[in-house]
Structures are given as C-alpha cells and as structure tokens.
Amino acid sequence: MAHFPKPAEGSWTQHYPGLGTGPISYRDSFDPDYWQQEIDSIFTKEWLCVGRVEQLSRVGSYFTKEFAWANRSLVIVKDQGETIRAFHNICRHRGNKLVWHDYPGEETSGYCRQFSCKYHAWRYALDGSLVFVQQEEEFFDLDKENLGLVSVACDVWEGFIFVNLDPQPSQTLTEALGELATGLAGYPYGEMTQRYSVTSKINSNWKLFIDAFVEFYHAPILHQQQSTSEEGQKLAAVGFEGLHYELFSPHSMVSSWGGMAPPADPRMVKPMENFLRSGLFGPWDKPAVVNNNENLPPLVNPSGHRAWGIDSFLLWPNFMILIWETGWYLTYSYWPDSPNSHTFESSLYFVPPETSSQRVAQEYAFSVFKEFALQDANTLEATQSMIETGVVDTFVLNDQEVLCRHHHAAAREQVAAGRRPDAYPWMPAEVSA
Amino acid sequence: MSAPLALPEEFADLAQFEDWALETWRERYEKRLASTVDEMQALYDAITPRIEEILSYCDRHDVAELPDEVRNLMLLLFSLCEASLPVEIWRQPRVPDSGAADLTMVAEPRL
Ligand code: FES
Ligand SMILES: [Fe+2]
C-alpha cells in the first residue's frame, strides 16, 4: 500500500513512459568498450564539479585534479583578478607536469605566487601566461605570448567549481544545469564552510554507487542494524517510499521523509543520538542561516510534506547534492577509473559551530555517516563481481528504483548519440519544447 | 613518566583514557579498530553518564579558543563519537561486512 501519493499514471516510472518498466541489462556496468564510450561521449563532454570556491580562499590558492581515466591532470587556481581558472597541468617547455608534490600521480593543493616548473624553472603567472624562461637567449624565435598554459573551460555556479574537458563545450554550465541552475540556487551553501571530505577507491563501476544513492529501497535492510533493534525491524517491515521523484533529464532528484531529527520518541534512536542531539540526519538543531527552511530553493521539498527529511539531486553526470531538513548539505562525486572501479569523493558541509556542543554534534554526524558509507561501499564490490559473471543477463527494477533506471538510460542515450542528445524521450514536453 | 593528560579538575579522572586524546579522525578510527569492545565500553561508561555536565562545561568556553585542558576533553568526546558505534550497535570494532572498504580523510575541521 502506498503511504505517499504517486502520479496519476500509477507509478513514478510510468509517469515517464520513455523509461519503460522492463528488466534492464547491467552490461553497461562492466563492458570495457562501453566504459570507454562513456568517457568519450559523457565525461569528456560534460561539466564536472571539482570543488568549492572556499577551497581557493585567496589569490594564488590552487588544487590539482587527476583525471587518469581521461589521461588528464588539471590545476585549478584563483588568479590575480580573483577569477577561478583551470589549466592543463603541463609545462609548455618540454612537457613536465607543472604542479605536484612528491608523487606526480597524486592530487595536491596549496598556495603560490607563480607556478614554477621543477624541471628547468619556467614560470607562469596565475592567469597562465608564461613570465620567465631560464636562459631565454638560448632559444630560437621564442613566442612567449603563445606559450602560456593550456586553459580548460571553467565556471562557477553557487560556489561550486566546474570544469569541462571539451575544448569547445557544446553548452555553458548554466545551460547544462538546465532547471537546476535556478531551481537549486539560493541555498546558503557559502555559509556552510565546516567541511569533512573523504575519498575512497571502490571496486565497482561508477554507476553502481550512484544506484545506491538514488534509491533508498536498500536503506531499511542494508542499514537496519544502525537503528535501535525495535525501530530497525519496524522500518524493514514498512520498507521505503520516496515522497517525490522528478527527472530534469539528464539530471534527476528524489525527495525523502526523515522524521528522526529529533525523533518523536527518544527510544527510537541510539543513546548517543540523544546525548549529542545528532545522528545520520545531522545535528538536530538547525542553524539560524537556514531560517527554519523558510527560503528553500524552489526545487527542494517539492511535495511540501511535513515529514520531509532530505532531497538528493543528481547533477549529470557524476555529482550529487543532498540537502537535509536539519540545515546542512552533502556532496558526492564518482570518478570512473576503469570499467569496474571508481574513486568516490564525499563532503559534508556544516555551518561553523558556535559552541563546543555543536562541534561535537557535527563530529558525531560525520562518524555515523561514514558507517553507512562503509556498508554501501563494500556491498558494491559484491555486486560488481557477480554481475560480471554474466550468469544473469537482466535485472528487475521497482518503482522506488526509477532513478537507477533513468540514469543508466540517460548514459546509454548519450553514448548512442555520441554526446548529449537534444531531447530525451522521457522528458516532459514543456521542457523539450 | 610524562605528565598526565591536562584536563579540567572536575574531569581529571578521565586522564586514564589519555591515549584516546587524538588529533585527527584517522587516528581515532585506527584506535577504534585496534581496540576491543570492552576497552571502548570502558570509555563509553566513563563519559556518557556525565556527558551533559561535560558538554555544558565545554560550552562555557569559546569553541574557537579552547584552553588546552578543555580541548583535550573535546578530543575525548570526538573519540567517544567513534567508539560509541561499536559499543551501541556492532559489538565489534569494524562495521560488519565492510571488508576492505576504507576512507581517506582529505579535509577535516581541526579544533
Ligand atoms: S619542462 Fe618545464 S621548464 Fe622544462
Ligand atoms: Fe546506503
């Protein structure tokens, strides 16, 4: 029995007829040739979030991103004019990697006045221009003007820094974000600067972890023990239903209930949650800056349900923003290292604590979050290894897994089109028009 | 012998848990994995009955400029966050079925 209303068609999935309801193949999650096509027609064509403006706090702050899957290394920097720029991390003299510490393959961050190459000391200003050549007179017809760093398309939306590996992106960042560009704007992301960032190498295709985070059907089961035993059994018996699902193809969102912060009855949660007023849903006491959720962005909490707990947005292709009712946000990125492995990155963002109690409540929220992430991560390896056997060809997805169905389909379509198609068959008419 | 962990006088007895006063999440997590549930239960039992008292004591100081002894107390609370999970849920140091899964902390707030 549905506890929350579904669309008139009877299900979220049938609300988008182009998606179908049949079993789907997971060959797209281990086939090496398909993976390469995803790199070629999705990851090297789309805008990819690489971080937040707060990570580049002053002129000269930089960080690198290693995109080994595309054979690319980037350096992202705040230049003298406070513009955030991205460059290919290669010296124009003889090709040495420009910015790295100790291990050339590892990401790094820091601050500098200029970039100086470790090999022969060519130097570049923060805007990429070549400003110093060692023994310049030894060169022949050196055209310094045209020997600046090779730039990469870079733009900022709501403080999130995006790059695009396509030398000529077919869309601006705002165009690519579509309805989300304004629909998710205005949240006080910039006030939530208390950041916990973790990364992990996961032995699964990148899409499998997205699957695990765009459906909560697994949550009452896989994570059952993380609730008190009585509450855990109750949740498992009831199962999970989303409040709302919506496609903004190729992006998507799910809205979920979450009445545990604070719980109706203290016995529903672990003693530590009561001691610290915090848990998986974050600290229970909302920071003033969210104004009691009076000014949520237009696409957040679309059902307006009083039991609303969290909205989870997939910003195509590999970035997720989760906005919690309790007044903080979480991001996930998935980098496709190989057909059956990826690098997972996650960041929790809170308002800087004003008291020690708030500080401990945030620490506990991180500790609990990480227990869930560890459970999720290891399950993926178990899934990947078995779908790769090919013993079973197709798998069935239920209505609460509509977003799994959708993002695999969106990838297929983009691969088939060679790049993002103009319209997806399941897009609502008013959007594709 | 080095001096015992500096703590506010009211909580001086918690100095017996000084090897839980660790600066980074990674150190706290590794300490958790290397400890027995009984050892973590002892930390839990020593702090949780007084946790309200401890928190209100800490709250009397500016969280941005905690004196050393209060800061140490906070580090013990951070370790309790980590250690409470095996104590309250798992009854073993590791998350069950988490196999080789691990996380690297890239950035974390420091006290
Ligand atoms: S390769 Fe960079 S200065 Fe020679
Ligand atoms: Fe999960």
Q: Is A305 in the pocket of ligand 1 (CB under 6 A)?
A: no
Q: How does the average pLDDT of chain A come out, rounded? A: 95
Q: Report the candidate in A29, A38, A68 with the shortest Cα–Cα distance to residue A380.
A: A29
* Judgement on whether residues A24 and A72 belong to the same structural domain of the protein: no
**A265 vs chain B: nearest CA distance in angstroms?**
18
What does the DSSP assignment read for A27-74?
GGGT-HHHHHHHIIIIITTSEEEEEEGGGS-STTEEEEEEEGGGTEEE
- The pair phi, psi for residue A168, each rounded to 5°, is -130, 85
Q: What φ, ψ does residue B86 adopt, rounded to 5°?
A: -60, -35
Q: Cα–Cα distances in Å, from A15 out to A120, A214, A256, A406? A: 61, 17, 18, 12
Cα–Cα distance between A367 and A18 in angstroms, integer?
41
**Does A24 share its domain with A68?**
no
User: Which residues in chain A have their CB less than 8 angstroms from residue B55's CB?
Assistant: 356-357, 360
Q: Is the ipTM of this complex over 0.95?
A: yes
Pocket mutation for ligand 1, best pick of A89, A96, A114, A132 (most atoms within 8 Å of C-beta): A96
Contact A321, A315 (CB under 8 A): yes
Verify that A25 and A95 share a domain, yes or no: no
A305 and A211 belong to one structural domain: yes
Nearest to A315 by CA among A252, A258, A372, A386: A252
Q: Are residues A24 and A116 in the same domain?
A: no
CA-nearest residue for atom 1, ligand 1, is A94
Whichever domain contains A92, its CATH number is 2.102.10.10
In B, minimum Cα distance to A359 occurs at B63
Are A75 and A108 in a shared domain?
A: yes
Q: Are strands A394-395 and A123-124 parallel, antiparallel or unpaired?
A: unpaired
Residue contact B99–A381, C-beta within 8 A: yes
Averaged pLDDT, A312-330: 98
Residue A193 and residue A169 share a domain: no
Residue B108: list chain A partners with CB under 8 A. Answer: 195-197, 366
Q: Is the dihedral of CA A368, A157, A206, A323 positive or negative?
A: positive
Residue A430 resides in a domain: no
Does the pLDDT value for residue A431 go beyond 50?
no
Q: Which two tokens stand for residue A74?
A: 């980037």
What per-residue confidence (pLDDT) applies to A430? 57
Residue A433's pLDDT band, with cuts at 50, 70 and 90, is very low
Does A2 reside within a domain?
no
Is A40 part of a structural domain of the chain?
no
Q: Rounded distance, CA A119 to CA A123, Å? A: 11
Is A179 domain-assigned? no
Distance CA A323, CA A194 (A): 15
User: What are the angstrom distances between the C-alpha of A393 and each of A61, A207, A214, A267, A426?
Assistant: 49, 17, 22, 44, 24
* Number of independent structural domains in chain A: 2
**For a pocket test of ligand 1, which of A88, A89, A91 has the largest count of ligand atoms closer than 8 A to its C-beta?**
A91
Closest ligand 1 atom, residue A96 Cα: 1
Minimum distance, in Å, between the CA of residue A213 and any CA atom of chain B:
17
**Inter-residue contact B14 to B7 (CB < 8 Å):** yes
Verify that A251 and A375 share a domain, yes or no.
yes
pLDDT (tens digit per residue) in A113-126: 999 999 999 999 99
What pLDDT was estimated at residue A236?
86
Q: Which two tokens stand for residue A270?
A: 């672990």
pLDDT tens, position by position, A322-373: 999 999 999 999 999 999 999 999 999 999 999 999 999 999 999 999 999 9
B50-88 as b/e: b if 16+ CB within 10 A: ebeebbebbbebebeebeeebbbbbbbbbbbbbbbbbbb
C-alpha angle with apex A168: A346 to A166, nearest 5 degrees? 35
Query: Is residue A67 domain-resident?
Result: yes
End of a domain among A119, A143, A174? A174
Nearest to B107 by CA among A259, A107, A114, A178: A107
How confident is the model at residue A259, as a pLDDT? 67
The whole-angstrom separation of Cα A256 and Cα A52 is 26
Using a CB-CB cut-off of 8 Å, the residues of chain B touching A202 are 101
Q: Tell whether A73 and A199 lie within a shared domain.
A: no
CA dist A116 and A99 (Å) reads: 8
Whether this model's pTM surpasses 0.95: yes
The CATH number of whichever domain residue A397 belongs to comes to 3.90.380.10
- Assess if residue A73 is contained within a domain: yes
Q: Do A153 and A290 fall into the same domain?
A: no
Contact (CB, 8 A) for A202 and A309: no
The answer to whether position A248 is within a domain reads yes
Q: What's the rounded Cα separation, in Å, for the pair A215 and B29?
A: 28
CB-based contact A271 B85, cutoff 8 Å: no
Sheet holding A115-116, edge to edge: A115-116, A123-124, A130-132
Atom 3, ligand 1: residue with shortest CA distance: A120
Q: For residues A275 and A245, what is the distance between their CA atoms, to the nearest angstrom?
A: 34
CB nearest B109 (choices: A194, A225, A226): A194
- Rounded Cα gap, residues B60 and B11, in angstroms: 15
**pLDDT < 70: residue spans in chain B:** 1
Q: Looking at per-residue confidence, does A394 or A432 come out higher? A: A394
Residue A1: pLDDT above 60?
Answer: no
Q: Hey, which residues 28-57 in chain B have their CB within 8 Å of chain A?
A: 48, 51-52, 55
| C-alpha distance across the termini of chain A, in Å | 36
Element (H, E) at A78: strand A72-78
A80 and A197 assigned to the same domain: no
Per CB-CB distance under 8 Å, the chain B contacts of A196 are 25, 105, 107-109
For the CA of A121, the closest atom of ligand 1 is 3
Q: Are A377 and A200 in contact (CB under 8 A)?
A: yes
| pLDDT tens profile A140-163 | 999 999 999 999 999 999 999 999
Q: Which of A55, A275, A356, A357 best tests the B interface by mutation, with the highest count of B CBs <10 A?
A: A356
**Contacting residues of B for A198, CB less than 8 Å apart:** 103-106
Q: What distance in angstroms lies between residue A65's CA and the mean position of ligand 1's atoms?
A: 20
- Low-confidence winner among A121-130, A201-210, A243-252, A262-271 (lowest mean pLDDT): A262-271
Angle at A177 between CA A173 and CA A181, to 5 degrees: 100
Do both A164 and A192 map to the same domain?
Answer: no
Tell me, using a 6 A CB cutoff, whether residue A245 lines ligand 1. no
- Using the 8-state DSSP alphabet, how is residue A104 labeled? T
Average pLDDT rounded to a whole number, residues A225-254: 90
Find the CB nearest B103 among A225, A357, A370.
A370
> B 61-100 residues with CB below 8 A of A?
61, 63, 66, 70, 74, 77-78, 80-82, 84-85, 88-90, 95-100
* Distance in Å from the first CA to the final CA of chain B: 27
| Integer-rounded Cα radius of gyration of chain A | 23
Q: Is there a domain that residue A42 lies in?
A: no
Are B103 and A375 an interchain contact pair (Cβ–Cβ within 8 Å)? no
Q: Which residue of A has its CA nearest to B70?
A: A356
A63-103: pLDDT as tens digits: 999 999 999 999 999 999 999 999 999 999 999 999 999 99
Cα torsion A28, A33, A39, A45 to 10°: value is -90
Residue A250 has pLDDT above 90, yes or no: yes
Q: Give the structural domain span for A65.
A: 47-174
Confidence of residue A432 (pLDDT cuts 50, 70, 90): very low
